[in-house]
Structure 1
Amino acid sequence: MDLQVLRSFQAVAEGATVTDAAAEARVTQPALSRALNRLEDEVGAELLQRVGRVLRLTPAGRVFKEYVDAVLDSYDRGCRAVAEVVDPEGGVISLAFLHTLGTWLVPRLVTGFREASPQVRFELHQADEKGLTQRLLDSTADVIITSRDPGHPLIRWRRLLVESLWLAVPLRHRLAQRQRIRLAEAAAEQFIMLKPGYGLRSVTETLCRQAGFSPLVGFEGEEVETLRGLVAAGLGVSLIPLSREAAGAQETNPDLPIRYLEVTDVHSARDIGIAWLAARTLPPAPQRFVDHALSVTADANPAGAAPG
């Protein structure tokens, strides 16, 4: 059984056309079709069936794909381990992180690490909290950077820092002249929040409960910058990190019609940490990155963040 055929089967099973999979494998489309037919003969079952103009997995194909994924992942990790033995200064780091950390923390950590290890290559992925945990469990990421401890028995988590959250209000809001606020005072406000499944959503709901109310959700988004835009448009308030652009400029900047208020009655902050599989010995490059992240995060804080 040819590993390349398994990769092509995996690609088609995940939505690629046979033509695209053939181009990726550098074979003709008829040749790949014959190879997939031989694979079905070897397995002893139909794995793919045509539905309209696309191929879909059969029940047998879905079962087989789970094992194909595991085989290819094991093979790729074996190749990585050998490459890192041959060239310990090189290697690949598969890093997954929250969308909100892609504008400041991840670039700083990666840039700083590559200054000392320029031969290391990064594979970067973004996901919500649930997706990050699954990437570790599926071994599709070596390391994740997330806003909370996943609380999973197979995952080890270490805090990097604590990021403060501020109540963002429109510039012409009734509270906009304030510098500080008790979160309980915003109980009647319409909150703009991330969708369920995002860490910041659960943190916001927890803080509001601690302040004695359930937030009235007016709008939901998938990016913190979307929340900022909706707040600026006067559609509600939001508990979000203070943007670096806002630091020292929120009073007079007409392009930033938001006021950030310090919350005083609850500990308005979220943990940011790094995690990996507890039972897995990390390859040298990912382990060096974990060590690097833990050692430098005190110098990698944006406005409103404090070292953990």
Structure 2
Amino acid sequence: MELQVLRSFQAVAEGTTVTEAAAEARITQPALSRALNRLEEEVGAELFQRVGRVLQLTPAGRVFKEYADAVLDSYDRGLRAVAEVVDPDAGIVSLAFLHTLGTWLVPRLVTGFRESSPQVQFELHQNDEISLAQHLLDSTADLIITGKDPAHPLITWRRLLVEPLWLAVPARHRMAQRHRIRLAEVAEEPFIVLKPGYGLRSVTETLCRQAGFSPLVGFEGEEVETLRGLVAAGLGVSLIPASSGTTAPEANPDLPIRYLKVTDVPATRDIGIAWLASRTLPPAPRRFMDHALQATAASRTSTAAGS
């Protein structure tokens, strides 16, 4: 069994046509079809069934694909590890992170890291809280930067910083001229929130419960900038992080919003970095993790001193 045949099997199993997979492997379509037939003979079961003009995995094919994926992933990680031993200044960091961190924290960390490791390349993925943990479990990311400890026995998590959250209200809101507010004071107002599965959604629900109420959901979005826009339109209020990681959100003349400090509950969220506990990180991801912890150490220290 050749690795290239496994890669072609994987590609066809994920929706690539045999013709396209053959082109990627630089062989003819009949040659790839024969190779896949030999693979089925070696496995001892049909791996594909034709449904119309499309090949779909059989039950045996679905089982075999799990192991084929693991073999290819292990082989690719082995190649990476050897390459980084040969050239320790190079390498690849596969990093997945929360959508809300793509505007400030991740660019800041990547830029700082590349100053000392300019040859390292990055594979970046954005996702919600639940999907981030899956990136680690599926070995599609070396590291994740997430809003809370995944609390999974296979994942190790370290806090990077504590990010303040602010109550965003429309500029014409009855509380807009204030600087501070108790979250309980807006218990009857609609909340503009992210969809379930996003870390900021669960933090919002937890803080509202601590304030003595369940939030009345007025809209569920997928981007924090959408939340800001709908708050500016007067459709509700929202708990929002600072867009640049500063202690207070920056004013935007295009968005008539006021940000109020919440005083009756601890309006913050943890931001941390995590990796698969059972896996030894390659040199480049390990160096990036150390850089992320060191770069945010001052923030962690100042937060601890102020608490």
Q: Percent of counterpart pairs with the same letter?
A: 82
Other-structure match for 1:287: 286
> Quick check: 2:229–2:255 contact (8 Å CA) kept in 1?
no
Residue pairs, 1:213-224, within 5 angstroms = 213-224=213-224
CA distance in 2, matches of 1:213, 1:105: 32
Partner amino acid, structure 2, of 1:124: L
**Superposed displacement of residue 247, structure 1:** 4.2
**Superposed displacement of residue 31, structure 1:** 2.6
Other-structure match for 1:121: 121
**Superposed displacement of residue 75, structure 1:** 0.5
Other-structure match for 2:3: 3
Residue pairs, 1:1-308, within 5 angstroms = 1-244=1-244, 247=249, 249=251, 253=253, 255-298=254-297
- Of stretches 199-208 and 47-56 in structure 1, the one that deviates more from structure 2 is 47-56
Cα distance change of structure 1 residues 20 and 260 upon mapping to structure 2, 3 Å threshold: farther
TM-score after normalising by structure 2 = 0.92
Cα distance change of structure 1 residues 132 and 292 upon mapping to structure 2, 3 Å threshold: same
Cα distance change of structure 1 residues 35 and 177 upon mapping to structure 2, 3 Å threshold: same
> Quick check: 1:183–1:266 contact (8 Å CA) kept in 2?
yes
Cα distance change of structure 1 residues 238 and 83 upon mapping to structure 2, 3 Å threshold: same
- Of stretches 112-121 and 227-236 in structure 1, the one that deviates more from structure 2 is 227-236
> Quick check: 1:129–1:197 contact (8 Å CA) kept in 2?
yes
Give a deviation string over 1:80-113, Cα, whole Å, max 9, x none.
1111111111111111111111111111111111
Structure 1 unmatched ranges of 5 or more: none
CA distance in 2, matches of 1:187, 1:199: 21
Give a deviation string over 1:262-284, Cα, whole Å, max 9, x none.
11100001000011122322111
Q: Number of residue pairs matched?
A: 301
**Superposed displacement of residue 300, structure 1:** 8.0
- Of stretches 290-299 and 86-95 in structure 1, the one that deviates more from structure 2 is 290-299
CA distance in 2, matches of 1:289, 1:15: 34
Which ranges of 4 or more aligned residues in structure 1 deviate by more than 6 Å? none
CA RMSD across the alignment: 1.9
Give a deviation string over 1:232-268, Cα, whole Å, max 9, x none.
2222111111234984535xx2x11111111110000
Give a deviation string over 1:35-54, Cα, whole Å, max 9, x none.
22222122121111222332
Partner amino acid, structure 2, of 1:277: L
Partner amino acid, structure 1, of 2:28: T
3-state SS, counterpart of residue 184 of structure 1? helix
Cα distance change of structure 1 residues 201 and 292 upon mapping to structure 2, 3 Å threshold: same
**Superposed displacement of residue 55, structure 1:** 1.8
CA distance in 1, matches of 2:200, 2:251: 24
> Quick check: 1:105–1:300 contact (8 Å CA) kept in 2?
no
CA distance in 1, matches of 2:55, 2:74: 26
**Superposed displacement of residue 299, structure 1:** 6.6
Cα distance change of structure 1 residues 64 and 265 upon mapping to structure 2, 3 Å threshold: same
**Superposed displacement of residue 29, structure 1:** 2.8
**Superposed displacement of residue 23, structure 1:** 2.6
Partner amino acid, structure 2, of 1:154: L
> Quick check: 2:104–2:243 contact (8 Å CA) kept in 1?
no
CA distance in 2, matches of 1:167, 1:28: 60
**Superposed displacement of residue 298, structure 1:** 4.9
CA distance in 1, matches of 2:109, 2:273: 12
CA distance in 1, matches of 2:13, 2:87: 34
